[in-house]
Structure 1
Amino acid sequence: MSTAHPDVTPPDFAAPESGARLLETAWRFHRGDIPMPQLRGHRVSYEATKAGGAIGAAAAVYDDGDWPLVDLPHDWAAASVPDPAENIAQGYRARGIAWYRRGFRLEESLRGRYLELQFGAIATKATVWFNGIEMAHSFSGYSAITLDLTANAYFGEALNSLAVRVDAEQAEGWWYEGAGPYRHVWLVDRAPVHIVTDGVHADPRQNADGAWHVPVEVTLYSIEERAAQVRVVAQLLDEHDAVVAQGAVLVEVPVLERTCANLTLENFTPQLWSPDSPRLYKVRTCVERDGACIDERVTPCGFRTLRFDPARGLLLNGGEVKLKGVCVHEGHAGVGVAVPDALIWWRVLRLKAMGCNALRCAHNAPSPALLDACDRLGLMVMDENRLFNVSPDYIAQLEWLVRRDRNHPSVILWSVFNEEPMEGTANGYEMVRRAAAAVKALDDSRPVTAAMSGGLFAPVNVSQAVDVVGFNYHQGDYDAFHRAHPDWPITSSEDTSAFMVRGEWFTDEKAHIKSSDDTEHALWGNSHRGAWQEIATRPFVAGSFVWTGFDYYGEPTPYTWPTKSSLFGSMDLCGFPKAAFYIHQAQWLDRPVLKILPHWNWSVGRRIKVLVATRLDRVVLTLNGAVVADGPVDPYQMFEAEVDFVPGQLEAAGYAQGRLVATDRVETIGAPVRLRLSADRTALRGDGADAVPCRIEALDAKGRVVPSADAMVALVVAGAQLIGVGNGDPNAGFSGKESQVPLFNGLGQAIIQTERGAKGQATLMARASGLAPARLDFAVEPASVPTVAPGPLRLMIQGWRQSPIVASKPERPARLADNDMNSWDNVRAGTPPPFSGASGYQTLVAQVQVPASVTRTGGLLVLQTVNGAGTLWVNGEARAEKSYVEAGGLHTAIAPGQTRLDIALILRVLPDQRTGLPGLVFLESEAP
């Protein structure tokens, strides 16, 4: 696959493995904390400490019926209108604490299989309960949370419950991090003997003789009660899914332990992966038992050699390749950090169009969708750890990152930190030694780096513990460091930090505007042209990672309120190009580039500094046919000229070796008369995941884009959903969740996403006062992804206590003493009761807080199945009678106004009958 003209269509959205289903629809959401109830009394204190005994909003049974429904991925902070009282680092967006809850059923056929819940990431820290059991605490908003549900799951009609408390008051970064479960959530079921999550390592190696092989390590686990014999088969597949090589090995999997199967794929000649030709293979790994494949994984695979040379920089496949990279945070205008996979693909395409061949994940584990896009489209990745900490919990995060990402050919560097105060100390050195050892134990094929902002010349410092020394800025130290350590490879891990506001050409400090003429930058940084010159002229510096590829919310340097986002991006918050985009095209693309900056709509007589982004030899600039500038091009600073503005046409002609190679022109545009909508593609998949950003422009009477248009545009979507809007203005005051957006310097953006199960047509319509409206139609093709349906919106009643059998029928239900934990059994409704072997009477009791909806409108108490004859009591009143012993149901109406129910069931016990509650008990609202 060549990336000269990459396909704009993202790959099909698919489950990460067979047996995986999305668990993302119809979550109950409560913004704000819900304090845990204070424990008062012996019984509640005792029961709250037991498995399944979580209380409050964490409980298996809780009244969340009035909470609004949301779909995941979800970033609740993205809906916040910026507020100057909030944290500047988080883009003035309110975050805080929130709760999510979800009920779901598991088919009886899943009993005995391994079940795992996978949260891609939750911002910022989270606690997860499953069926009232506290299952996980996350220590980072960028790491996955995986839960083994197998031992605690209920099957059939029984309802399973998830509760998640998200603490986004805490922050891990000084940029906008969002709030909530902002990556995908999958429920996975696997065979009892299976491959664990991230359990295949298949990273190719080249032998000394040039031949290739793929060592495959497969980590297996079994929940069975006896050791199991399985056969592990691995196949190397080419881009057409043809088998190139295969191998197999027999392995015994012990009980409730992990074990590794190792085999090697060899005797093949692969095509190599590179940014210009990202050839991809796959390793398909299958666990066979009795001749059948019971579990399978498909792992990305790419063949390339990689070496950082202290004199020549990066050697990829034996050739010198300069890193032409950018640093990227993951948020986007309108959607916050809950960025759809298809939009991530689009953003990578924008970087490729700019000339990038590399990307640094700043400063955290990326979305899997980002690495998949980099694999397929050809971007080399510096994969970065978030929190620099070598205590066990944090080393586990680093190890998770390496295990998850080590098969991606795009990943070429592991970065263990960014700009740490201890980087110039012996403590920092010792910490990096340990972090690097943890990485190498899992992947010894890629070098370890750290993004250092100082301490490079300290007697003991971090540079002594890494494979490639990363420079954050400090470009003036490249030569001195290289002289001191001529055998140490180095790269820029962060550079530039230049300021630009898209469409602006003159700095206005009062308006918080920085010119796009590439003269404004942070004190520690450089211009886009100057930073690249420092790197390009030094072969020993492996390359550049410009800060940043896109603007991002938060860290609004050099301004504060009302500026909410950075000004560093080569593109704005929406991915619209700034002048830096074209400067980098001229620096990085192999084809001739000639781009006049800025536009040509100014006041008459104003003197304009014209910048022509190009690396051609010579530029001739004409205004309305008259030459106004003619001269050689500096290969790094490019071509500049001062021109007095006159309406008309400004044209540049670019020459190489005396031959006209390229031309470009800008012209004076008229007043806007109509709107235009456009998108890279107009065919979408109706899987509920596909999304596309739509460009909004105002055109003049000749159909030309008006660069200064600022109309307020109202948007209407049919057949899809509008999930965000933006315009790239760092000083904008809206949230991005509105149904209208003002154009900023001529541009706006609307992001639409399909609905699950949609087909036919989706339409985006735009209107603005005084302008002709616009319409954009999309063809929506049927597509689906396996999903977990939400459970019924009813309150399950559990926590039953069952009395000993007594000879005589009680006249009224007995009361259980508050401190009696042992004379009555704990019973779960929906579980087949045993034979008692005796005769008499037995009482079952439960208490429940009535949901607000039932309190308002009344409801129905339903006992699905009762074994035995008996009487149902509610709040001390006999309410229903069952006169027969065979299985059957009971129900009774609950009047409005009730807030608590004391439920009792007195049953006649026979020795040859299973007396009790084999069916579920629930309370549902009478409201429609």
Structure 2
Amino acid sequence: MNREIKEPLRERFLMDSGWRFALGHASDIKLDFGYWEGKPFAKQAEGRGAIHVKFDDSDWREVSLPHDWAVELDFQYSDDNDINYHGYKPIGRPNPATSIGWYRKRFEVAKEDEGKRLSIEFDGIFRDSMIWLNGYYLGRHESGYTSFRRDITDCVKFDGPNVLVVRADASQVEGWFYEGAGIYRHVWLVKTNPVHVAHWGTYVVSEIGDGFAELTLQTTVVNEDDLAKAIAIESAIYDANGSRVATIQSEPTPIGSWKECEFNQRIRLEQPWLWDLESPHLYRLVTTVKDGEAETDVYVTSFGIRSIRFDPDQGFFLNGRHVPIRGVCCHQDHAGVGTALPDRLQFYRIEKLKELGVNAYRTSHHPPTPELLEACDRLGMLVMDEHRQVGCGEEIEGQLRSLVKRDRNHPSIILWSIGNEESGIQDTEAGARTARTMKRIVNELDPTRLVSYGGNNGGQSSGINGVVDVRGWNYWKIGANLDVYHNDHPQTPMIGSEEASTLCTRGIYENDEERGYVSSYDENFPGWGSGAEEWMKYYAERPYLAGAFVWTGFDYRGEPLPYRWPCISSQFGMMDTCGFPKDNYYYYQSWWTARTVLHLFPHWNWQGKEGQDIDVRCFSNCEEVELILNGRSLGMKPMPHLGHLSWKVPYEPGALVAKGYRNGQEIASAARETTGVPAELRLLPDRSAIDADGEDVSSIAVQIVDALGRVIPTADNEVVFTVTGPGVLIGVGNGNPSSHEPDKYIGSGTVWKRRAFNGLCMAIVQSTKQAGDLCITAESSGLIAAKVTIRTEPCVLYPSV
């Protein structure tokens, strides 16, 4: 991924490799490595057990970050709501033996770094983490989703190995969905001179004029030195081609010892390239800090230039152009890896959504990983950036401040959401006061974006809804007439912060409670939800609605509905947990993209149902569609706008073909054929070449095909994977919401395998730091094996420790 390259004055090292990991225990001191026996808060560097520098962790498992230990656990049936809503993984207070994780890492710091300021940045730990370095307690961080840093300058060693220890406690949950456990995002070691740009210390605001953009640059510089300084900064703007397009310098400004100073500069760009959905142009601000003639820091900030506006009658505008919000809500887990997504998977998921026609992403219901926002910036995806919860007090307010300061330079972000469905307070005056405080904090840190909230309280206009700028509706069906509300609140922009909740299982066409499957006919949804076609038509008739975020883009672990065990994941997604499309995917693609779409379903393997009517449907944006069975036309029908076509077709084996027409001309065709028995495997990697950086991945789709190469839509063969060359398997999946197979196989000599689900499964391979040919082989009993080679290519490695 595109990380900030090492600068000579500011060094940022990735700390993802070389960690040791072991499960502790929430209620047994000895099984928690004697953690409490040593009175860890009584004396510095005297803690016993895993905290102590000389603790022997040689029998702990070596892991690389990001790491989610919850996804490695076996599924476990329980009546406890927290466990079933977290995907039946034994995490939480009822499971003390699997809810505490310990991490230890040794690293060196060079002697020549004495005199620098050193810190460690954690992008995210789930949850309630405590940090020690060399036995010194660095503090606690409660949130499982916000990024944070710890200064280690005073306790670091320059004459031997440093020992970093993290204890993550996932026994208390934050959400009602799968949240993972552990250090599931990146960790960084940062080295700066005493005078440097503060953490998240830049803020760029753009105002667009006729043929120009006026930029306001706000830069906070800190002086962590015992002497006062006279500091100047130079701010240089570079375009995406690397050309410097503008520069401005400040006058020297006095900064007292251990003080900070804010610099405000304005700079004009002529004929700027705007950040947009199809041309997401990014600029770089390079800030150079100078103490006299000496440069003390270089800090790089990525940003984009664009205008955004919400209109109460016409919806959302980007760069002056009306853009309907065609969004999705997503949680952050993925097949095979849980919440510990390599950076490439963040891009993979956004690419899949863009192909579908999605243009907006809601980070439900918590701050995202930084790399997700990088993917949205670079690929052109709007973002509703959401805080974990509405609340008051220093802890919650601190979490909100960190979210806004960290993310405010991302051009993809168009809305801040302060929370979601806080039923206990959203209608109250206390809720309103809390929302006002949170809105004030957001406006203080970023006055350029509006504030919203995901409310599921219908037409209620007091409480939180009366405070936020953009009224968020979680489900239009819940207790309100939106037309009346719009008439009563004509100055309030409105958006569907959450819609649909349509339930579908990929490749399944009848409800099956015993197996936990739901028909894919867009007919199943909870009482608050609606089918895709239903809500789309409702919103299309109301231009004052800016659009909506569909629940959800991908299936996610936990929150199993409408069934519980054996079902272990949600089924709301347009795609399953692997990113394999469901039928509804093509409904949205038909009306959200300009490409020609013709999708025919269900499959045509109905042996034993000869002569019985099969419900055949078509999603398309063609004007007319003709259906043909074994060469016989079953008639042509016009495609209704935002609708679908359906036929009752007596089953007979063979070929069912749809032909799409526009202006009387055939422009597309789709077929569903009765397939033969499983004959061989086919491997389809999403990329044939990846970086040899030890982090890049390729997602390899596996298809079960017959002798004619047709995917068998009901196949469930078990597939065994092997890898040779510079790479490793890191996860497998199949999108089956009731599969209890492992996503990961831990330990040497283990066999990686996964059963196909309705003809498909997936393996995720990751590079090492060696270039060469990475070969993946897939085998299944009685089938012809498949092999694919992925080239791992030399690249500029990000410096790591």
Quickly name the TM-score band, shorter chain normalised: over 0.9
Asked which structure has the greater CA Rg, the reply is 1
CA deviation string 1:820-863 (max 9, x = no partner): xxxxxxxxxxxxxxxxxxxxxxxxxxxxxxxxxxxxxxxxxxxx
* Structure 1 SS opposite 2:376: helix
Match of 2:329 among 302, 327, 330: 327
Structure-to-structure mapping, 1:730-879, within 5 angstroms:
730-738=737-745, 739-755=752-768, 757-783=769-795, 785-789=797-801
Check whether the contact 1:532–1:544 (CA below 8 A) recurs between aligned residues: no
Match of 1:589 among 582, 590, 593: 593
Measured in 2, the distance between the counterparts of 1:14 and 1:729 equals: 38
* Structure 2 SS opposite 1:416: strand
**Match in the other structure for 1:533:** 537
Measured in 2, the distance between the counterparts of 1:668 and 1:118 equals: 55
Can you give the 5+ residue segments of structure 1 that lack an aligned partner in the other structure? 1-10, 790-928
Matched, 1:65 2:78: no
**Match in the other structure for 1:676:** 682
**Match in the other structure for 1:175:** 177
Report the alpha carbon displacement of residue 258 of structure 1 after superposing the two structures with TM.
2.0
Report the alpha carbon displacement of residue 665 of structure 1 after superposing the two structures with TM.
2.1
Check whether the contact 2:35–2:48 (CA below 8 A) recurs between aligned residues: no
* Structure 2 SS opposite 1:479: helix
Change (3 A) 1:267 1:726: closer
Change (3 A) 1:788 1:654: closer
Report the alpha carbon displacement of residue 159 of structure 1 after superposing the two structures with TM.
2.6
Q: Given residue 441 of structure 2, which amino acid in structure 1 is its aligned partner?
A: A
Report the alpha carbon displacement of residue 467 of structure 1 after superposing the two structures with TM.
0.9
Report the alpha carbon displacement of residue 544 of structure 1 after superposing the two structures with TM.
1.3
CA deviation string 1:883-920 (max 9, x = no partner): xxxxxxxxxxxxxxxxxxxxxxxxxxxxxxxxxxxxxx
* Structure 1 SS opposite 2:396: helix
Structure-to-structure mapping, 1:460-499, within 5 angstroms:
460-475=462-477, 477-499=481-503
Match of 2:556 among 533, 540, 552: 552
Measured in 2, the distance between the counterparts of 1:436 and 1:39 equals: 40
**Match in the other structure for 1:236:** 237
Report the alpha carbon displacement of residue 747 of structure 1 after superposing the two structures with TM.
0.2
Change (3 A) 1:186 1:538: same
Measured in 2, the distance between the counterparts of 1:175 and 1:501 equals: 18
**Match in the other structure for 2:67:** 74
**Match in the other structure for 2:126:** 123
Report the alpha carbon displacement of residue 660 of structure 1 after superposing the two structures with TM.
3.2
Check whether the contact 2:211–2:272 (CA below 8 A) recurs between aligned residues: no
Q: Given residue 722 of structure 1, which amino acid in structure 2 is its aligned partner?
A: L
CA deviation string 1:223-253 (max 9, x = no partner): 2211122321112211101112221113333
Match of 1:312 among 311, 314, 321: 314
Q: Given residue 133 of structure 2, which amino acid in structure 1 is its aligned partner?
A: F
Report the alpha carbon displacement of residue 455 of structure 1 after superposing the two structures with TM.
5.5
Report the alpha carbon displacement of residue 620 of structure 1 after superposing the two structures with TM.
1.5
Check whether the contact 1:235–1:265 (CA below 8 A) recurs between aligned residues: no
Measured in 2, the distance between the counterparts of 1:161 and 1:229 equals: 37
Measured in 2, the distance between the counterparts of 1:591 and 1:480 equals: 36
Q: Given residue 179 of structure 1, which amino acid in structure 2 is its aligned partner?
A: A
Measured in 2, the distance between the counterparts of 1:358 and 1:535 equals: 16
Report the alpha carbon displacement of residue 784 of structure 1 after superposing the two structures with TM.
5.1
**Match in the other structure for 1:903:** none
Match of 1:20 among 9, 12, 20: 12
Corresponding pairs, count:
771
**Match in the other structure for 1:451:** 454
Measured in 2, the distance between the counterparts of 1:113 and 1:529 equals: 59
Measured in 2, the distance between the counterparts of 1:159 and 1:308 equals: 54
**Match in the other structure for 1:191:** 193
Matched, 1:255 2:257: yes
**Match in the other structure for 1:375:** 377
Match of 1:155 among 145, 154, 158: 158
RMSD, aligned α-carbons: 1.9
Measured in 2, the distance between the counterparts of 1:514 and 1:37 equals: 48
Matched, 1:94 2:98: no
Measured in 1, the distance between the counterparts of 2:294 and 2:784 equals: 63
Measured in 2, the distance between the counterparts of 1:48 and 1:655 equals: 74
Report the alpha carbon displacement of residue 37 of structure 1 after superposing the two structures with TM.
4.9
Measured in 2, the distance between the counterparts of 1:36 and 1:455 equals: 50
* Structure 2 SS opposite 1:345: helix
CA deviation string 1:172-214 (max 9, x = no partner): 111111110000011010112111221111131235x674211
Measured in 2, the distance between the counterparts of 1:227 and 1:437 equals: 33
Measured in 1, the distance between the counterparts of 2:290 and 2:75 equals: 55
Measured in 2, the distance between the counterparts of 1:359 and 1:66 equals: 42
CA deviation string 1:523-577 (max 9, x = no partner): 1100111111111221000011000000000000111111000010000010000
**Match in the other structure for 2:646:** 640
CA deviation string 1:625-649 (max 9, x = no partner): 2221322212122212221222222
Change (3 A) 1:390 1:629: farther
Measured in 2, the distance between the counterparts of 1:186 and 1:114 equals: 14
Change (3 A) 1:310 1:347: same
**Match in the other structure for 2:215:** 214
Check whether the contact 1:621–1:627 (CA below 8 A) recurs between aligned residues: yes
Measured in 2, the distance between the counterparts of 1:677 and 1:38 equals: 48
Measured in 2, the distance between the counterparts of 1:160 and 1:667 equals: 63
Match of 1:442 among 434, 437, 445: 445
Measured in 2, the distance between the counterparts of 1:606 and 1:293 equals: 79
Report the alpha carbon displacement of residue 38 of structure 1 after superposing the two structures with TM.
9.1
Measured in 1, the distance between the counterparts of 2:295 and 2:654 equals: 70
Change (3 A) 1:342 1:462: same
Match of 1:427 among 404, 412, 430: 430
Check whether the contact 1:557–1:566 (CA below 8 A) recurs between aligned residues: yes
**Match in the other structure for 1:622:** 628
Q: Given residue 127 of structure 1, which amino acid in structure 2 is its aligned partner?
A: M
**Match in the other structure for 1:356:** 358
Report the alpha carbon displacement of residue 510 of structure 1 after superposing the two structures with TM.
2.4
Check whether the contact 2:692–2:771 (CA below 8 A) recurs between aligned residues: yes
Can you give the 5+ residue segments of structure 2 that lack an aligned partner in the other structure? 92-98, 746-751
Check whether the contact 2:212–2:272 (CA below 8 A) recurs between aligned residues: no
* Structure 1 SS opposite 2:535: helix
Check whether the contact 1:530–1:636 (CA below 8 A) recurs between aligned residues: no
CA deviation string 1:747-793 (max 9, x = no partner): 000000011x211111111110000101111111123534554xxxx
**Match in the other structure for 1:406:** 408
* Structure 2 SS opposite 1:201: strand
Match of 2:571 among 557, 567, 572: 567
Q: Given residue 352 of structure 1, which amino acid in structure 2 is its aligned partner?
A: K
TM-score, normalisation: structure 2: 0.93
Report the alpha carbon displacement of residue 456 of structure 1 after superposing the two structures with TM.
3.4
Measured in 2, the distance between the counterparts of 1:15 and 1:99 equals: 30
Matched, 1:105 2:108: yes
**Match in the other structure for 1:225:** 226
The sequence identity of aligned pairs, in percent, is 38
